[in-house]
Amino acid sequence: MRLALDTREVGHVTIVQCNGRIVAGGESDSLRAHVAWLLRDRRSIVLHLGDVGFIDSSGLGTIVRTLTSTRQARGDLKLCNVPEHVRKVLEMSHLTKLFDTHESEEKAVAAFYRPEARTEKPVLSGRSVLVLDKNADVLAYLRELLRRAGYDVHTSNRMGDALILMRVTRFDLLLLGHEVTASPTAQQAFKDKCAGVSVIELGSEFSTCDAGEATSGLLEKIAACFNPKTA
Mean pLDDT for 113-128 is 68
Top pLDDT among 229 and 190 is at: 190
Rounded Cα distance, 205 and 10, in Å: 25
Rounded Cα distance, 99 and 106, in Å: 17
Of 24, 93, 18, 94, residue with least CA distance to 53: 18
- Tens digit of pLDDT for each residue in 23-53? 999 999 999 999 999 999 999 999 999 999 9
- Residue 149 pLDDT level (bands cut at 50, 70, 90): confident
The reported pLDDT for the residue numbered 118 is 63
